[in-house]
Amino acid sequence: MSDPVAALIARLLAERWLPREDELARQALTDASFREELDRRLAAAGLRLLDHPYASHIAVAVAKAQEAAVFAGPKAWAATNLGLDRDAIALLVVLWSLLILPKRQRQITRVETDRDQDQGQIFADLKPVPVGEEVAEPVSERTLLADFGDKLGGKMRINMNLGVLARHGFIVRRKERLYEGPLLDLAFDYERTARRVLDGSLAFVVEESRHTLPIDDADALGGEA
């Protein structure tokens, strides 16, 4: 007998993420009864669905109630279950700030603009939230090294950690550019983390990235949502 909920869970565990356009992923996001059963089965295994209306993928993560069982070690609380070093996690936060925050602002602006334009139309179509490269700009690797090299372990260490983050699906590296990977927009609680970043030491860098034109082959800084 076909069991689409079990199939979706198995695929999420095996593939680690699925695009929102996937048939079963779309059903999980639009079918209330399907989602209720999915959440129930995931919770029974100590898991939860990771999704965000502005993210292009979905994934699974450890449920809040099971975080202590997974991350609480004898000496310290682990930041992830991926074995990332502290400098890799710091780099991940920087990349999230440079790629996701500007992208999110573009998405929100686009949605608000479309909504304002459609207010006068009685039967206006509900437009999907833009999630692709039309709203996401890359970051130059050279700019990243210039701005953060001395703080994140130097060129060799950063290059190594970029490779690790790429293998885990947080970023994509192409032609010395860093693009958002499938998991980057799901890795942090946006509402909580965004305010900490914008009020903290990365605020200036994020603000600079918002005013930068699309990058070329020079070392201009690419922005994000």
Report domain extents, the chain.
Answer: 4-71, 86-210
Q: Which residue has the higher pLDDT, 87 or 203?
A: 87
**With b meaning 16 or more CB within 10 Å and e meaning fewer, what string describes 35-44?**
bebbbeebee
* Pair of tokens at residue 37: 């059963």
Hey, how many other C-beta atoms are within 10 angstroms of the C-beta on 195?
Answer: 10
Check whether 7 has a pLDDT greater than 60. Answer: yes
Mean of the per-residue pLDDT values for the chain?
Answer: 82
Check whether 215 has a pLDDT greater than 80. Answer: no
pLDDT (mean) for 163-189: 93
Say which range, 21-30, 34-43, 118-127, 188-197, has the weakest mean pLDDT: 118-127
Structure confidence at residue 126 (pLDDT):
53
pLDDT (mean) for 91-110: 87
Check whether 34 has a pLDDT greater than 60. Answer: yes
* Pair of tokens at residue 74: 């004898």
